[in-house]
Amino acid sequence: VTAQTSNILDTIYANDTKNVALFFPEPIRQGITGSDNFVFTYNREKEQYFGLLQAKPGEESNLLIVNRNGSIFSYIVRYKEKLTKLNYFIPISSSIGNEIPKGKDSIQAETSEKSNAYTKYYYEKFCTYLLDRKQSNGRIKKRNEGIILSVENIVFDKEELYFVVQIENNSTLDYDLNFLKLSIETRQKGTRKSLQRLYQEPIYIQNLPSEIGEIETVRFVYVLPKFSLSNDRRAILELNEKDGERNIELKISHRHINNPN
């Protein structure tokens, strides 16, 4: 077994009134706690990516997890009456080692592959969480001929900005989406006022439709690398209809971008 014994173990807190969920990059094959006052439950018959931790008052202990691919994860676990975190998304980089000795090249290749897969998995889970929350600021919206484009929420997490977007089709005609682009618009200095736009490439998109039916509402998430804006810049969300003219340009102030949730 190869392991990095010099790592300082992270601490996970749990109690007896809530489930603390741990999501791993690979399905869990084995989960063991060092004390009876901590219980880690997972599907032993059908391997799944997550397990649930609960705790009773008592001394701290440890939790050892082995994934299907042999990756080993180890944590200190403690009881805490009031919890501030209920979900842990565990990156492959947190593994302290592997059951199966491997060559250096194969470890690096597998780590890179698993890291990319986990990143996509994390985006998917966090986007689903945001869509389920249905939190709305109610301020950033614009309409055109029965089509309403709105940014419900802007959330910062890790190194990304998540834009929760909603399109309402209150018309009696289907809306075929040509494209939805987010750009940064800068006011150029000088005697003649001019604007310059720089398109921002999303790193992940969840639930973007190609068509919005009549009297239908859709919600989706755009994920971009985190950025901030000066006072002379703003974001523009541009909705364009395929073979139609119901186009919308929604202006998003630098204040919304610089103060995400």
The answer regarding whether domain 138-258 maps to CATH 2.60.40.1150 reads yes
Within the chain, where are the H helices? 104-133, 254-258
- CA 227 vs CA 39, 159, 224, 256, 261: distances in Å: 41, 9, 8, 12, 14
Mean pLDDT of the 155-176 span: 93
What does the pLDDT read at residue 118? 72
Q: Quick one: pLDDT band at residue 1, thresholds 50, 70, 90?
A: very low
CATH number of 11-98: 2.60.40
Give CA–CA dist 18/49, Å, rounded.
Answer: 19
Mean pLDDT of the 206-213 span: 92
Report the chain's terminal Cα–Cα distance, integer Å.
42
Give CA–CA dist 170/183, Å, rounded.
Answer: 26
What does the pLDDT read at residue 251? 94
Say if CB 242 and CB 178 are below 8 A apart. yes
What does the pLDDT read at residue 194? 63
Residue that wins the pLDDT comparison between 192 and 132 = 132
Nearest to 17 by CA among 87, 75, 76, 82: 82
HSE, side-chain direction, 13 A CA sphere, residue 134: 3
Q: Structural domain boundaries of the chain? A: 11-98, 138-258
Q: CA torsion angle for 125, 130, 133, 134 (degrees, to 10)?
A: -140
Q: Which residues contact 215 (CB under 8 A, 6 or more apart)?
A: 169, 170, 171, 172
11-98 and 138-258 share one CATH topology? yes
What does the pLDDT read at residue 6? 41
Q: Which amino acid is at 161?
A: L
Max Cα distance, the chain (Å): 74
Q: What is the pLDDT of residues 137-155, one digit of tens each?
A: 667 899 999 999 999 999 9
Strand partners, 44: none
Mean pLDDT of the 106-124 span: 69
Angle (CA) 128-234-239 rounded to 5° is 55
Q: Which amino acid is at 6?
A: S
